Chains A and B, each alone.
Chain A
């Protein structure tokens, strides 16, 4: 301990000092806040559980979007900043299909046929948008300085937002509620909305599918090879451009699926700007899990969803901050900054990010 302190002061740097101080302050704040809340007993156990489950449901949306960031990052080492807009594209377009299905009664007669159809449709729309994005905006820039594709991605993000605003108008549209998913499941004293369980299960199924695709198929093998080393896999006969396009496509499909899932349990509705904040949050989730790491993105998404759901009530209420739930986004963004500062390689510690951090 003494030796450690000695070394610390010999190689003293103000930057490290401030960062360490920041670390201590944040830990203290979290501990004090949580202790205060828990001791005051403002929330019952049942409330915590339902917050946790709601967080898991929200987290599955983040996880699905985060997979897109991670897949693309794994291959191109590039943050597809416009990925949130890919999510929006699917979700916003599918509203019209959902409305039509609702009008014709199909949605409530065969909900478990209609919802997969919607997911498929939304996924396809997002996939097309993602592939076009790659083809038009990113491919010409491969190999340019790192800031260039990032700025392009910011441009693409705004372009997509306002394109969809132009296409479908600037108002909010809501997904119809599905009657079959309306009730709550009672486990002892705890009531959990069925839609949240459904969302979680669907997400797990999609992720299992992705895992199979990446780990067990030839395409998955090619993708892993490309992310390992582009030049060598080219020499082995892998068509790099095709694999990159495919990666964008798969990421897009997942984001589109997330769009429908998001619409099922969030009543706020969809509009052209809906992708921006979830995009940044999903990126946080991807970094949390270690960007480039597929299981990491899934875990990171769920983790972020739970933190965001429980965090404001647990920490901020305890610190006496009024209107804590307004600051949900602050929690998520603080999480983002903290992860980037303290553990840029993420929870799962991915090799790729060490190269960068």
Chain B
């Protein structure tokens, strides 16, 4: 707490008076010089801030800075020097304000005595509000206070704590620029005419960094002044690497982009807020933005917990809806008339007023939610076991009902995305049996997908590669006619399933004796072999080589072709639910426990009498099955099968969603598929950087949260246990 009386005793009023008058007169003198009027041409923020304003504020910044620095060096971090600095700025603003008001009241008198105090001058000192005495004076005072605030807070930055976070945020911003993310994300406006995704990419790293620094410093009971100073400094530090590259780029006459392709005009334009030609202004604006972000990150931490959380939820909600503006538009246009939609979104971008309302809703909703949360938890907690079962079942039924109605809610384009997500959910659940349950890192999962797709395509295709017709003709000639003249999709599903299981079995036998990383590399090798074979001339007569298999018919359901995504969705949904069911049952079965035993220690499992070879074979075979079905559905959905759909990327994609969701956790995998497969489909900006983000996600998850977002309990325990082993123990 600040005790005002104590403080006023500590403050050296003489210092305030002397420095205040010195700074005030200096500023007054400066403002009347010609030098400032020349600088006024260079506008930093239109209608309010020019370079001359900043120069004018320099003394008010430097003097409090020096005073604060002195007290920092003396080791006293408290309010005294801060208050002193602020008082100095207030005192220092008096001469200017006085002259400004005087020039308004007695225009001619001032004009005669001081000819340089003309309209340009009053424009400068009033920060663009020359016409209004009150507003002008207030903005003058406020600007002085802000400059003084910065000056008296910055020296207290806790250097050791901030350096790391600042550097980290700095690398993130620079990296995003080098990768071209800032320029590419900038094309998506989150809130119309207000902020773009690219700008968020610049603002968020310093914001989060200073938020984290603040949390750490608050835990250590550091003085608030020091914390605020640290937060702003983190923000400033975060832009240093970017500014260095910016200057280098200017110095080298834009030739950096011959090597670093993304250090181009677009980047410079966004980074400097459209001041490509004036690097100084651009850098200043950038510095101001990140400094402000740093300050915000700090201030959020000082807000009481409940309100802070509500504010964060509100912001997150608004930004999410804004970012996925396109998706939201697609959903809304199914249900709302055009005119209503136009009041909310324009060109798939959230408008400002709806954004504000959304923010309010988010804040209010989360405040309400926090109140009711405890009560609902009590409600569920107090239920009798039987009641709870009923409750859970009804929740599940509601969820399935929601899934059934989903295509009606989200429309065609998003149903298509849902189909793709569904295919990956199936594959994720399948591969999870090998990786999550049995601990066998299979990097060749694409093999099963390819087998299913090619079997399905070759057997049903009406094109040159289709052999279904040939088989059926020969069957017909033998008098078996009830099967029709070509394979139907529904016959293909079990065939693809069996074929994939067979392939899984065949590829599993040779690798049964391998463990860990050798197994991973061998399966990766299988995947590559299959990929190369699919594209080769050797197998071209059968599966079409690089041209692929064309004319694969859509599934036919009692006479209707299921070619719309809304219809295919149900095929995938049923397949997913069946897979989920099987997966849950396996998880709790004797075989499932055998797998887990193998995962935890193969030698012990053998010693306990588990036939490891059999169990592993079973894991590979069962895991392959869903891949095959997914492949068959994929072939029927797309209508053509090309070898370049079956690269190592499919395997890695499935692996990533399992890792992110949580190995061995079914809900985790569904979430992983929605996030990792759905998001790139919904947001082009993400899909460009999909593999980069997957790479980062895999590393970060393994280091920070190896058990995944929604971990299965057993797996989490295992991971945590092993983590505690001493460092340096390789095996």
Contact = CB atoms under 8 A, between A and B. Distances in A.
Contacts of A161: 691, 695
Interface residues of A, number: 64
Interface stretch (A43-51, A59-67, A71-79, A176-184): A71-79
B533 interface: yes
| Size bin of chain B's contact surface | 35 or more
B532 A341 contact: no
Interface stretch (A187-195, A208-216, A245-253, A332-340): A332-340
A322 interface: yes
Contacts of A149: 702
Interface in A154-200: 154-163, 166-169
Residue among A147, A169, A280 having the largest count of chain B Cβ atoms under 10 Å: A147
A158 B528 contact: no
Contact of B528 (A146, A159, A166, A333): A333
A320 B535 CA distance: 17
Contact of B698 (A78, A136, A152, A230): A152
B521 A141 contact: no
Given A167-B261, A337-B510, A327 B538 contact: yes
Contacts of B513: 15, 341, 357
Given A147-B516, A336-B521, A234 B699 contact: no
A237 interface: no
Given A155-B698, A158-B698, A166-B178, A336 B525 contact: yes
A158 B533 CA distance: 24
B491 interface: no
A323 interface: yes
A240 B730 CA distance: 12
A240 B510 contact: no
A3 interface: no
B514 A280 contact: no
B233 interface: no
Interface string A71-110: 0000011110000000000000000100000000000000
Nearest to B535: A326
Contact of B525 (A15, A136, A150, A333): A333
Nearest to A240: B728
Interface string B672-707: 000000000000000001011011111100110010
B692 A168 contact: no
B659 A151 contact: yes
Contacts of B520: 79, 147, 150
A234 B728 contact: yes
Contact of A162 (B529, B536, B689): B689
A142 B692 contact: no
B655 interface: yes
B260 A15 contact: no
A230 B728 contact: yes
B514 A344 contact: yes
Given A143-B728, A143-B729, A168-B261, A151 B698 contact: yes
Nearest to A227: B730
B259 A96 contact: yes
A225 to B, nearest CB: 14
B515 interface: yes
Given A146-B516, A337-B525, A137 B719 contact: no
Contact of B692 (A162, A336, A340): A162
B613 interface: yes
B699 A155 contact: yes
A341 B512 CA distance: 9
B698 A154 contact: yes
B323 to A, nearest CB: 21
Residue among A13, A19, A230, A336 having the largest count of chain B Cβ atoms under 10 Å: A336
Contacts of A40: none
Interface in B221-241: none
A280 B180 contact: no
A280 B528 contact: yes
19 contacts: A78-B730, A79-B517, A137-B699, A137-B703, A143-B722, A144-B706, A144-B723, A147-B520, A148-B702, A155-B656, A160-B695, A163-B179, A163-B692, A168-B261, A234-B728, A333-B526, A334-B525, A337-B510, A337-B511
Given A141-B703, A156-B695, A357-B515, 8 more contacts: A13-B613, A77-B731, A147-B516, A154-B443, A166-B180, A230-B729, A231-B728, A336-B525
